[in-house]
Structure formats: structure tokens, C-alpha cells
Amino acid sequence: MMGSGDLRRWVGVINVLRMASLLPHEAAICIAPARMSVTHPILDRSIVLVGLMGAGKSTVGKRLARRLDLDFTDSDSEIEIAAAHSIAEIFARFGEESFRDGERRVIERLIDGPPKVIATGGGAFVNERTRTLILERCIAVWLDADVETLAERVTRRDTRPLLKDKDPLLILRELAGIRNRVYALAPIHVRSHPMPHEGAVERIVEAVTEWQRKQ
């Protein structure tokens, strides 16, 4: 029969062996949530939001980036920083062709970095060279909405050069007729309804996850 001194020595030996990882430890108590599955896709490329002005690309993009633990950037903002001019000023002083060339180069620079969420201007994806760049190296998401919703949203800002002194509803209907067939080349299409933007975010996450599964 083991005496109290022998018992203390035996317990000491066991503790030493455990510290040296020679004996298994007792199972730890798990205080984390029972479900630890990944709740968003792990990306190896950027998500680029395309679509008409007013679709909510920047607003949804910021929320999507937080949801995916990624950085967010707006290509129009990056263009303005690089050019030291507003978008409206670039259009007025240098014309749309010059703007599109600079836009493509800025988007290419953004894509070269780590995966992020990028919101683009309404005409970016319409440019063939920019569209090819996005489709080859990113996950393009067409964020869509009916023109009435778009028109209501764009009236909150007066800095859009294509709408200067014009009826937003008429212009957006015309643009939708021309551009929507191009936006449809994006592999993911999500409707941006007049509802909390979190709904659009979750639909994008689900669609990106499904897109990855099929690759």
C-alpha cells in the first residue's frame, strides 16, 4: 500500500511528465461556441463590385469588407487622390477617354495588392480592357437595382458628371439599356433592393462561396 509520502512523489512524477508532454493532459473545457465553422469564404483574389451609379457599391462594399475581414477601397476615390482632381474635374478638363485610361491603371494597381473589396465607378466595367483585367484576376459582382431606386439614390449627390444638369431617371434608363448587358458578364449578380444593405452583403457572401465551390 502506498504511503502519503510515496503518493506525493508519484503525483510529482506525473506532473513532470505532463509538463514534458510525455503524458496526455486532461481534456480542457471548451468555452468557445460549439460551432466554429468558417462563416465566410477565404479569398485569394479581390472582389470587385460593378454596376450603375447609385447601386450602392461603396456602401455595400464597406460592409462586405468588414464581413470578410478585408480592406475596402473605392477606385474613384483612389483616382481623385492620384490625379489631385475630382472625378468631375477630370472629365471636364481631360475628357472621358483620358479618365478611363487612368481608371484602368488605378484599378490594376489595386488588384496587384492583397485581396480586398473594390468598388468601381459605373463605367469601369464597360471599358473592355478594364473589364478583361477584372474578369481574369478578380471576382466580379454585379450589384443591380431598378432605375427608380437608382435615381432616388443619386439625387443625394451632385458630383456625378454624367448627370450634370440632366434628369437622373432618364439618364439611368438610357445607361441601363446600354450597360446592363455588359454588367451581366460578371459571374455573380446580386440585386440591391431598397432594404438594409446587410441583406445584399449576405447574398454576396453566399454567391461568392458558391462560385468558389464550382471552381
Distance between CA 26 and CA 4 in Å, rounded? 24
Report which secondary-structure segment, H or E, holds 147.
helix 147-154
Q: Which pTM value belongs to this model? A: 0.78
Q: Which CATH superfamily is domain 47-214 in?
A: P-loop containing nucleotide triphosphate hydrolases (3.40.50.300)
Q: What is the pLDDT of residue 102?
A: 92
Say if residue 118's pLDDT is above 70.
yes
**Could you tell me what percent of the chain has a pLDDT over 90?**
57
Q: With beta carbons less than 8 A apart as the criterion, state whether 141 and 117 touch.
A: no
Q: What is the pLDDT of residue 159?
A: 61
Q: What is the pLDDT of residue 13?
A: 42
Report which secondary-structure segment, H or E, holds 118.
strand 116-119
- Give me the mean pLDDT over the 140-165 stretch: 80
- Highest mean pLDDT among 3-7, 162-166, 201-205 belongs to 201-205
Q: What is the pLDDT of residue 192?
A: 81
Sign of CA dihedral 111, 116, 122, 126: positive
Q: Which sequence spans correspond to the domains of the chain?
A: 47-214
Say if residue 141's pLDDT is above 60.
yes
Q: Is 34 exposed, middle or buried (0-12, 13-18, 19+ CB in 10 A)?
A: exposed
